[in-house]
Amino acid sequence: MLLMSPSPRSKAMILTRWLIVVCVVLSFSGCASLSTDFEEPSLQINSIRLINFDGITPQFEIDLHIVNPNRDALELKGLSYTLHLSGRQVVSGATSDLPVVAAYGEADFKIDANVSLLDGLQLLSKLMNEYQENINYEFKAKLDLGRFYPTIPITREGVLNF
């Protein structure tokens, strides 16, 4: 029986296959090293205040509080939101002006929410026709934590006292 040594070309093919296998294994281990114990941060509304009401379009300030229960800091990329008052959507917007929340930390931030002219007119008409000391609100938001994390939907409901 005659044993032949592998040709340089077959050695190169074997080496290439091994390199591919090693790269695939390393890429899977890289994905596995991503944090799997990620917990969603909590977002609470501290207050919703009417800060300006000159003319027809009111402006609200929404004061938010976020808690990061994770070992890594959260670099918030964006927040899109809507605000419903008495069942009507009166505000929608987005912001990228958000804080970095330290690991196991908390942060407060504010967003200014402007009501569109048409929505402002509808809200003003409703408030004039039906005097209410309290108005129900619903705040919906999507919190974007970046590419490697899913967006987090948030819904909060409450009552505004005037």
Q: Is the pTM of this model over 0.85?
A: no
What strands lie across the sheet with 42-52, from one edge to the other?
Answer: 42-52, 59-67, 106-114
Domains, the chain, with CATH or none = 42-161 (2.60.40.10)
Euclidean distance between CA atoms 109 and 62, whole angstroms: 8
Give residue-wise pLDDT tens across range 101-133: 999 999 999 998 888 777 767 776 777 777 777
Euclidean distance between CA atoms 45 and 81, whole angstroms: 12
Give residue-wise pLDDT tens across range 12-60: 777 777 778 776 776 665 554 455 688 888 888 898 888 877 766 778 8
Give the list of residues 6+ apart from residue 80 with CB closer than 8 angstroms, or none.
Answer: 92, 93, 94, 141, 142, 144
